[in-house]
Amino acid sequence: MIVLPFDRRVNQSRREDFLLRLILSIYLVLGSAAVACAAGSGEEEVATPNFVDQHQRIAKPDLSDRQRIRFLTSTDYPPFNFLDDRGRLTGFNVDLARAICEELGVIAKCQIEAVPFAELVPALKRGDGEAVIAGLAMSATTRREFAFSQPYFRYPARFVTRKAHQIEAPIAEHLADKVVGVADGSAHAAMLQAFFPGAKVQTYPDREQALAAVRDGKIDAYFGDGVSLSFWLESDAANHCCSFAGGPFLSDRFLGEGLSVAVPPNDTALADAVDYAVAQLVGKGRMSELMLRYFPISAF
């Protein structure tokens, strides 16, 4: 188990340098608030989404009676939670947990503990932590076992095309004569057929083969997970061939409800506190800062 008190932080510049080197294999936006932030003078703007309804009114919770708040996470899901090149726990979820505690004024009571993903549910049930922030899926089963905060992140589906042969917008109206690759049997394959029935679908055993086909001009586009694709676009494998086209596209049915914080079923007050803190972070622009830190190429 890795325990990280929040006063032992990873050097930000080292973390960002590491993430830039890291190649991952790895909506309708509520409030219609997509924030554009320039990475630097003259550089391309990066879109960051807002998944929190800013019209809701949540009172600031009082957590002064809590002795500690332990967030449980894992170490194998970059860029959300992972070990950096010096073996230190870091990631979007780790920094988000710290920001939540700061917003709630309980930073001195907060810590984050890393355990194998398979042990997260048993650990929370045993009372070894107060919350899980590691991508625990919201399903009929987990909803019976835990309470959840509102989603703070959702996975977009995106099309990738060659830069020299992009598909016109709106992309749904220009797919009739296009061959779109997709990983066979994936949720994105089902979503593609449901949302874009006019496309000529070409399935591949895995995403690597499909993306290679796009890069080499054998097919017109690939449809898949926007987060992993945002890193692939800057990888050596892509060789600067391609870019996003159309979207982002969200679907609870095919892609799930996104990332939320799970808490014990009798602790909905903590879930409400997380909702309050995330809403504040969004309103102050801190959520956008976190996303730009860990997703320098926006999946949105």
Q: Are residues 109 and 8 in the same domain?
A: yes
Q: Is residue 111 in some structural domain?
A: yes
Give bridge partners of residue 3 from the DSSP assignment.
113
pLDDT at 44 > cutoff 50: no
Q: Is residue 284 in some structural domain?
A: yes
* pLDDT at residue 22 in the model: 36
- Quote the tokens at residue 159: 């099309």
Q: Is residue 299 in some structural domain?
A: no
Gap between the Cα atoms of 153 and 172, Å rounded: 25
Q: Are residues 33 and 146 in the same domain?
A: yes
Q: Phi and psi for 180 in degrees, rounded to 5?
A: -115, 125
Contacts of 171 (CB under 8 A, 6+ apart): 159, 245, 246, 247
Q: Which of 65, 80, 118 is nearest to 270 (CA)?
A: 65
pLDDT at 207 > cutoff 70: yes
3-class DSSP state of 64: coil
- We report the CATH number of the domain holding residue 111 as 3.40.190.10
CA-based radius of gyration for the chain: 20
Q: Can you give the residue range of the structural domain that contains 74?
A: 2-154+258-294
Gap between the Cα atoms of 144 and 150, Å rounded: 16
Q: Is residue 300 in some structural domain?
A: no
Q: Are residues 87 and 113 in the same domain?
A: yes
Q: Are residues 73 and 170 in the same domain?
A: no
Gap between the Cα atoms of 79 and 55, Å rounded: 30
Q: How many domains does the chain have?
A: 2
Q: Are residues 121 and 147 in the same domain?
A: yes
Q: What is the pLDDT of residues 68-126, one digit of tens each?
A: 999 999 999 999 999 999 999 999 999 999 999 999 999 999 999 999 999 999 999 99
Confidence class of residue 15 from pLDDT cuts 50, 70 and 90?
very low
Q: Is residue 136 in some structural domain?
A: yes
Q: Are residues 108 and 164 in the same domain?
A: no
Q: Are residues 32 and 47 in the same domain?
A: yes
Q: Are residues 90 and 222 in the same domain?
A: no
pTM of the model: 0.79
Is 25 or 246 the better-scoring residue by pLDDT? 246
Helices and strands, counts by H and E, the chain: 10, 16
Q: Are residues 79 and 110 in the same domain?
A: yes
Cα–Cα distance list, 126 to 51, 130, 131 (Å): 31, 10, 12
Give bridge partners of residue 127 from the DSSP assignment.
none
Confidence class of residue 217 from pLDDT cuts 50, 70 and 90?
very high
Mean pLDDT of 56-64: 81
* pLDDT at residue 67 in the model: 94
Count the neighbouring beta carbons within 10 Å of the beta carbon of residue 143: 12
Give bridge partners of residue 203 from the DSSP assignment.
182
- Quote the tokens at residue 207: 């995403």
Percent of the chain with pLDDT over 70: 81
Gap between the Cα atoms of 217 and 67, Å rounded: 59
Confidence class of residue 223 from pLDDT cuts 50, 70 and 90?
very high
Phi-psi region of 86 (alpha: psi -120 to 50; beta: other; left: phi over 0): alpha
Give bridge partners of residue 157 from the DSSP assignment.
225, 249
Q: What is the pLDDT of residues 231-276, one digit of tens each?
A: 999 999 999 999 999 989 999 999 998 999 999 999 999 999 999 9
Q: Is residue 131 in some structural domain?
A: yes
Q: Which of 291, 250, 230 is nearest to 95 (CA)?
A: 291
Q: Is residue 148 in some structural domain?
A: yes
Mean pLDDT of 159-176: 94
Q: Are residues 268 and 184 in the same domain?
A: no
Decide if 108 contacts 117 (C-beta within 8 A). Answer: no
pLDDT at 36 > cutoff 50: no
Query: Using the 8-state DSSP alphabet, how is residue 198 labeled?
Result: T
Q: Is residue 96 in some structural domain?
A: yes
pLDDT at 159 > cutoff 80: yes
Q: Are residues 211 and 273 in the same domain?
A: no
Q: Are residues 232 and 150 in the same domain?
A: no
* pLDDT at residue 109 in the model: 95
